[in-house]
Chain A
Amino acid sequence: MGKSKTKKAISLLIVLVLVLGMVALVGCSKPAATTAPEQKEEKEFILIGRVNPTTGPLAGFGAGTPTVEEMAIEKINADGGIYIKEYDKKIPLKLIAVDSESNPTKASEAATKLVLQDKVDLLITAHTPDTTVPVSAVAERYQIPTISVDSPVDVWLTGGPYTWVFHTGFVVESLNSVFMDMWDLVDTNKKVGFLFGSDPDGAYISEVIKPMAEKRGYTCIDPGRFPQGTKDYTTIINQLKNEGVDIVTGNMITPDFATAWQQMHQQGFVPKVMTMGKAPLFPTDVDSFGNDLGEGVTTEVWWSENHPYKSSLTGHGALELAKWWTDTTQKQPSAVLGYKHAAIEIAVDALNRAQTLDKDQLREAIKATDLDTIIGHIQYNDENYCEAMLVGGQWTKGETWPWEMNIISNKQAPEVPLSQDSMFFVPGSK
């Protein structure tokens, strides 16, 4: 009995030592972590935190980070970095990328870590509302100047008003207009079936598109929203089939759309036009549909190697960036490259003008952005966003790459050249 109590006492002491050790260990990180800029201690890097969906269903968006950003930063660092007046010297940039695992909760936790532990001077967030909205919430809470790109403006705005975050993306009305501009190019019965998921962008876009489509003479058939990960679309397919729709549109993550599109083909329902947001944006995603099912699928295009814009950092055009990407990675370029590069352009431009890491001044510098970038001109409005223009594209089997994108509609951005091939119906449609 006495022996066991001695053991207990020893165990207690062990636990005490463990706990104290753990607390002391984490406590030790304090001096480094709380070094404030105004103390003017040596600062090795200007830290840019980047939350990216590296894994999970949004990994297609995340591909290219941190390679693209680091290439852009390399150019600045080769000249010694950016002059910061409180340190009276040039300081190089350093990117710290973390994975959100395509999960909004993780995106929030990861951004909190970047702000509180890594003490980043600036945050960059991108790629769908699942990443941009939670990271923007963290930025507003901790008052960190933040550059957000690549997600629908309207959905991002639902979390506003924003003071610290500045966003560049398309507005949902533009997205829907691009879709309809493409539908207008071909002869259909003007019946549109909806295939919108219940994620933030799917929920929002589906609300906006219906009145817009009806105004342009289209009839909408809406079977309702469905959650991510749905495996059986039979009920929806039957409804759209029975209604005899010629056009199907929606906004889905890639694995879900692949499942739905395969089931449509299996069940003998192939619409003349399949216009899908988000899922078929990248060639790797199109390839994942299998059995050449990507042929004829249309979607929005935010950026391509044919966009006639130039980088403010390198002076190179979209084609050069795309070529650099292919030479570096042996991979096909995709629309995210331009946005990843542009986010660094905006950050560098603001830092160059602010010449300080003072959060308020840096925020004001971002707000005053008036810059030609590789994705076009960036200037924020009173609601802290800059609207990006879209063009419409159609996937087809290619010669250089398995899948290539034809630009078939450019009403919003006539400066983007159209491809030689015109829009065609999805193979197998009747």
Chain B
Amino acid sequence: MIQLLASKPFKILNIKIIVLILIISIFLTLPLWSSEYIISVFVLIFLYMSLGQMWNLLAGYTGLVSLGQQIFIGLGGYSLAVITVLYQLPIALGIIVGGVISILFALIISQPIFKMRGDYFTIGTWIVAECLAVFFSVWTYVRGGLGFNIIAAYKLSTTDIYYMAVAMGLGSIALVYFLLRTKIGLALMAMRDNESAAETLGVELYKTKLKVFLIAAFVTGLTGGLLYLSIAYIQPRASFSITWTVAMVFIVIIGGIGTIEGPILGAFFFILIKQYLYNYPGISMIILGTVAILTILIAPKGIVGTLQERYGFEILSIRRR
């Protein structure tokens, strides 16, 4: 037993567990020792982390480069608004309904959208999102362009939203981690590397892609609901805006595509840079764009990808031992 505990692999495992427990403890106790502003920043970090994980699952592991993930943010946000404002029902129900509607909508659009490949799939998803923005702008049931103030959200404190965001952020990491360690994970990576070869080896392309697309839609829908719990005002142009997906792409590129750690680090950098740049009105987008371009030029695989390549850095390994 002592020999086992002293062995190298066990030590590394121990360090990993200690580090993870430490990090999780820090985040769980954050509201006890930090300011409300820092908590609000971490709300955004965890929610964008969840969005980044889902986009990475699609683009980095499945090869589905979607520019339409804002569809599910909008659906999640609008579900929350309709449930709480029009029907005066609980917030939790609004968020869950957002996830369910996102899955259903993803299922409906998957039929035509999966017939498109590569760039066509990318553009197709974007077009669906734009169509939804137009539709919601004229749909009187959701007040058209007027939108909703999600007044029920005012009652929640930043700490309440923070714990929901922590659950969402860490939950999305766990989901991707365990999903990639299943058979689906193996199939996904085989598909990403060579679709035809994967199919020859018995991977069911359509079914596997659909499963991942639905999972990503569900989690993005839930995250959209939580985001709008924090923003408390929704209208079509902003909720179905491509800027959401641009943020996801930025997070994944900066962090490292095809790695679980990438979107975690990417979300940290993205939100911290964004917060800092509020002090420089008018030039924030220029700086953000410059950071993205420099990262692509210097470290095309992102921060985590480059660390993995040079130093074998890995925390959340999905390799089977």
> A residues engaging B (CB < 8 A)?
2, 4-5, 7-16, 19-20, 22-23, 26-27, 29-30, 33-34, 52, 54-55, 97-99, 101, 103-105, 108-110, 112-113, 116-117, 130, 133-134, 136-138, 140-141, 155, 158-160, 197-200, 202-204, 224-228
Contacts and interface: CB of A to CB of B under 8 A. Distances in A.
B300 interface: no
B12 interface: yes
Given A54-B281, A227-B134, 20 more contacts: A2-B8, A9-B15, A11-B312, A13-B15, A16-B19, A22-B272, A29-B35, A29-B38, A34-B36, A99-B281, A103-B241, A117-B275, A138-B232, A198-B134, A198-B236, A198-B237, A200-B146, A200-B147, A203-B143, A225-B145
Given A2-B8, A22-B268, A26-B34, A15 B19 contact: yes
Nearest to B43: A112
Contacts of B315: 11-12, 15
B235 A200 contact: yes
A27 B146 contact: no
A98 B15 contact: no
B145 A203 contact: yes
B38 A108 contact: no
Contact of B36 (A99, A104, A109, A116): A116
21 contacts: A11-B312, A15-B19, A20-B26, A22-B268, A26-B34, A27-B33, A29-B37, A29-B38, A55-B281, A99-B281, A101-B285, A104-B147, A113-B275, A130-B235, A137-B154, A137-B231, A137-B232, A140-B154, A198-B236, A198-B237, A226-B134
Contacts of A202: 145
B30 to A, nearest CB: 8
B141 interface: no
B243 interface: yes
Contacts of B272: 22
Chain A binding surface, main DSSP class:
helix
B313 interface: yes
B133 interface: yes
Given A15-B19, A108-B232, A225-B137, A203 B40 contact: no
B108 interface: no
Contact of A104 (B23, B238, B274): B238
Given A4-B312, A200-B235, A203-B137, A141 B36 contact: no
Interface residues on B, range: 35 or more
Task: Describe B's contact surface by its main secondary structure.
Answer: helix
A155 B281 contact: no
A124 B185 CA distance: 51
A9 B38 contact: no
Contact of A30 (B11, B35, B268): B35
A203 B144 contact: yes
Contact of A204 (B15, B146, B153): B146
Interface in B228-264: 230-233, 235-239, 241, 243
A109 B145 contact: no
Contacts of B275: 113, 117
Nearest to A198: B137
Given A27-B33, A108-B231, A227-B137, A7 B311 contact: yes
Contact of B233 (A26, A98, A133, A197): A133
Nearest to B39: A116
Interface in B270-305: 272, 274-275, 278-279, 281-282, 284-285
A23 B37 CA distance: 13
A320 B159 CA distance: 49
A273 B237 CA distance: 30
A138 to B, nearest CB: 7
Nearest to A31: B35
Interface in B41-61: 41, 44
B174 interface: no
Contacts of A16: 19, 22-23
A9 B313 contact: no
Given A23-B26, A198-B137, A225-B144, A141 B278 contact: no
A373 to B, nearest CB: 26
B233 A12 contact: no
Given A197-B145, A227-B237, A5 B9 contact: yes
B231 A198 contact: no
Contacts of A4: 312
Given A7-B312, A105-B238, A116-B158, A137 B233 contact: yes
B117 interface: no
B256 to A, nearest CB: 13
Contacts of A113: 37, 275, 278
A200 B142 CA distance: 12
Contacts of B22: 16, 20
A12 B16 contact: yes
B138 interface: yes
A26 B154 contact: no
A22 B238 CA distance: 31
B87 to A, nearest CB: 17
Contacts of B285: 55, 101
B281 A98 contact: yes
B292 to A, nearest CB: 17
